[in-house]
Amino acid sequence: MNHPPSPTRQALGLVAWVGFSFLAAASSLLGSPDEWYSRLNKPSWNPPGWVFGPAWSLLYTLMGTAAWLVWRQGGWNRQGAALRWFILQWIFNALWTPLFFGLHRPDLAFVEILILISVLTVTLVRFWKISRPAGVLLIPYLAWVCFAAFLNLTLWRLNP
């Protein structure tokens, strides 16, 4: 018989999943907006720099909460496949920043973000089947990544 995790274990699980999601931001140590980025031609609809911190803070919180909701439905034993998809999309999330800002390769970053969109879509569908709230929590993240892909493509095209 499978007992739900204790309240303490659930709280620790939530902190762990949200904390893990925020670790993707550490990839900015391998590249972040710099002089190269400031010199790029940007579209008029390019968000101001101050938007990204709050946006990603919210998205990482939603991501971690979604993973926690799935994890609560039987942990790794029962939900390992969906949680592995989550880890995979997290890896692609973390790879984009070093490609774009670190290597100054919007072309490679664009290909990578298309892979992220695909893997994230699979993750969202798998999460939705396990916990509809978990799936819903990933929708803003998917929307933001699609916007980021379009911005990435636009920056690449404006700066050949």
| Segments forming the whole domain that contains residue 87 | 18-158
Residue 154 lies in a domain: yes
Residue 13 lies in a domain: no
Query: What CATH number does the domain containing 122 carry?
Result: 1.20.1260.100
pLDDT reading at 92 higher than 70? yes
- Using the predicted structure, report yes or no on whether residue 159 has a pLDDT greater than 90: yes
Of residues 20 and 4, the one with the higher pLDDT is 20
Task: Give residue 74's region: left, alpha or beta (phi > 0; psi -120 to 50).
Answer: left
Name the pTM for this structure.
Answer: 0.91
Q: What is the pLDDT of residues 38-73, one digit of tens each?
A: 999 999 999 998 998 899 999 999 999 999 999 999
d(CA 34, CA 123): 32
Domain count, the chain: 1
